Amino acid sequence: MPEMDMVVRRNDYSLSPEQEEVRDLFADFFRSEVPGTRVRAAEPLGFDARLWKQLAGMGAISMGLPESQGGAGSSMVDLTLVAEQFGRTLAPVPLIETVVAARLLSRAGAADLLDQVGAGERILAPALLPDDGTPQLVAAGAVATDAIVLSGDKLVLVSLPAPPPHVINQGSAPLAWWDFREGERTVLSSGARARAIYEDAVKEWKLLTAAALAGCGAVATRMAVDYAKVRMAFGQPIGTFQAVSNALVDSAIAVEGAKHITWKAAWFYENEPEAEPQLVPMAFAYACEAATRAVTTGVHVHGGTGFMLETDITLYFLRVKAWSVLAGDPKSELLAIADALFAEKPVPVLA
């Protein structure tokens, strides 16, 4: 990218026409193909095999790979746009995990697996925590026969004959316990390179999940606004009451901010990774908070119906609660932000 373009992009996060086309393409697909009934039909496992094949046919799984490896060379900002549309419909597929795992394989030089992964024939699940010798709950682990984990100073692909048993959870996420001492182990990389590849994969998972959460929060806010327009109390719509309207405005501002900080974090991560390292944990922590606020407000605005499992706002509430904690407590990101901002700076001494 020319130097002047780089300067402009550091300060302007509007989308290019090409990025708008990517966003609109996937928005149309998810909106038409993934109604709430299809999401519910995939419960409790949270996986729709036919939808997975559809996305593979569109090139969604491999789009983040280099063109030389069968991908489209899409940027991280492009991928966050797709993840946002994925989140808006709660699509029951392990798109984020597999996209991240495919990019990890590409960096590790394991290109021989990428054709199967891109075609949707092989689902890979990245372990979001390093292997400490004990079983780990793995996102997408209940639909994957392969998981990638950092074990000591080695990046290891662990393969099983079949996915482990699904762990039932309220968010219908395809979680499973993986014991990385079992199965066939293939070392993909080792040493500092292995750690760097793994850390990048975790950052990418957080960026894409932040985008998906922003999408969830935006739809939940829209649902609540629409309900507040027609739900009557004291002879007028409840949206005319400040206690309702102000809460909805706060939610809308929060999820819009989460979307934009995620775009910014994705751009810096890809183009100037050393310049603003705090942006990735900021984006993830803020998206978790904003989406949680949006769905909680949505449930409250819906009143009694908001606490019924049959309503769509509850569906979004449960998904946001589940997705926010797949990598642990999102508040731990505050420590990562502090480390990025202050780790190498002297601590001021008060006189």
Residue 4's pLDDT is 40
Span 315-336, average pLDDT: 96
Print the domain residue range for 309. Answer: 198-342
pLDDT band at 292 (very low <50, low <70, confident <90, very high): very high
* CA dist list (Å): 219 to 26, 267, 281, 327: 16, 24, 23, 23
| Cα gap 303→339, rounded to integer Å | 41
* Inside any domain, residue 228: yes
* Inside any domain, residue 253: yes
* Inside any domain, residue 176: no
Which residues have a Cβ under 8 Å from the Cβ of 293 and sit 6 or more positions away?
A: 217, 250, 251, 254
Residue 164's pLDDT is 97
Q: Decide if pLDDT at 314 tops 50.
A: yes
Task: Give the total number of structural domains in the chain.
Answer: 1
* Inside any domain, residue 333: yes
Q: Decide if pLDDT at 1 tops 50.
A: no
The model's pLDDT over 4-55, given as tens digits with 9 standing for 90+, comes to: 444 445 666 678 899 999 999 999 999 999 999 999 999 999 999 999 999 9
Residues 91 and 61: beta-carbon distance below 8 Å: no
- Kindly report the pTM of this predicted structure: 0.94
Tokens of residue 129, six digits: 């925590």
Span 85-111, average pLDDT: 96
Residue 347's pLDDT is 52
Residue 295's pLDDT is 98
* Inside any domain, residue 102: no
| Cα gap 294→94, rounded to integer Å | 23
| Cα gap 299→291, rounded to integer Å | 12
* CA dist list (Å): 112 to 85, 108, 164, 185, 289: 30, 11, 24, 16, 39
The model's pLDDT over 231-240, given as tens digits with 9 standing for 90+, comes to: 999 999 999 9
* Inside any domain, residue 180: no
**CA nearest to 215, candidates 139, 287, 309:** 287
Measure CA 327 to chain center.
Answer: 11
120: alpha, beta or left? (left if phi > 0; alpha if psi -120 to 50): left
Q: What is the CATH number of the domain that holds 243?
A: 1.20.140.10
The model's pLDDT over 175-219, given as tens digits with 9 standing for 90+, comes to: 999 999 999 999 999 999 999 999 999 999 999 999 999 999 999
* Inside any domain, residue 191: no
Residues 127 and 105: beta-carbon distance below 8 Å: no
Residue 256's pLDDT is 96
Measure CA 43 to chain center.
Answer: 19
Residues 333 and 284: beta-carbon distance below 8 Å: yes
Radius of gyration (Cα) for the chain, nearest Å?
Answer: 21
Residue-averaged pLDDT of the chain: 93
* Inside any domain, residue 207: yes
Q: Decide if pLDDT at 2 tops 50.
A: no
Residue 15's pLDDT is 86
